[in-house]
Amino acid sequence: MLKFGVLEVIDYVAQHASALKAHRQSLKNREHNRQFRSRLRGALRSIRTAIDSNDLTGAKSALKQTISLIDRMASKGVIHRNAAGRYKSRLQTRLAAKSKAA
């Protein structure tokens, strides 16, 4: 916003102590959830590559750990429970189709 040729910086964070604390908590939670989502994406990526490269024994052992991680993320609210079910279902279907073809 320009006012008399000077750039005015607008800070939308409230000044009350409770609002400042809530803002700090939201930043902390956002970073925490970002790390969890990154970990989940990495696990999904690794199991998909294991399935695609026909490493079925490795994929079956990784599937159990990945499903556990997916359930944990859903219980913490990082991902929606329907998304968790969708991830698990698609992984199991993919693994079953590969093992049937092999």
Please state the pTM of the whole predicted model. Answer: 0.77
User: In terms of DSSP bridges, do strands 6-7 and 2-3 run parallel, antiparallel, or are they unpaired?
Assistant: antiparallel
CB atoms within 10 A of CB 23: 13
Q: Tell me the backbone φ, ψ of residue 77, rounded to 5 degrees.
A: 85, 10
Q: Domain residues of the chain, as ranges?
A: 38-101
Tell me what pLDDT residue 14 has: 77
Q: 38-101 has which fold?
A: Methane Monooxygenase Hydroxylase; Chain G, domain 1 (1.20.58)
- Partner residues linked to 6 by β-bridges: 3
Q: Tell me the backbone φ, ψ of residue 6, rounded to 5 degrees.
A: -110, 130
CA distances from 53 to 22, 40, 60 (A): 46, 20, 13
**Contact (CB, 8 A) for 78 and 33:** yes
pLDDT bracket for residue 15 (50, 70, 90): confident
Q: How far is Cα of residue 79 from the mean position of the Cα atoms in its chain?
A: 6
User: How much of the chain exceeds pLDDT 70, in percent?
Assistant: 87
Instruction: Give the pLDDT confidence of 48-93 residue by residue, as tens digits.
Output: 999 999 988 999 999 999 999 999 999 999 999 999 999 999 999 9
Both tokens of 49, joined, read: 């590559």
